[in-house]
Amino acid sequence: MTEREIKHFLNKRVVFKNDRLQINSVYILTGATIRRNDSGFYYQAEVTKMRDDGKTAYICSLDDISPYSEKGE
């Protein structure tokens, strides 16, 4: 996902994929943060999944999320 897509997909479904955590599921994009380090600026996304037993939230890179499509495109 790009920085320009953040506003459009805020509080909407996105696909969160992380091979290390073995996650490939639909979450809600609930926020984004811009940060700065020695090499420049970068974004972090917050994705949340509502479950019967509560909420699960992850802070991830924009590279880990993509727009959700019901058609599976």
Q: Which two tokens stand for residue 54?
A: 């509560």
Q: Which two tokens stand for residue 52?
A: 């019967």
Q: Which two tokens stand for residue 20?
A: 């290390």
For residues 55-73, give the mean pLDDT. 86
pLDDT tens for 4-32 read 899 999 999 999 999 999 999 999 999 99
pLDDT tens for 33-63 read 999 999 999 999 999 997 777 788 999 999 9
pTM of the predicted model as reported, rounded to 2 decimal places = 0.84
Domains of the chain: 3-67 (2.40.10)
Are residues 12 and 68 in contact, defined by beta-carbon separation less than 8 angstroms? yes
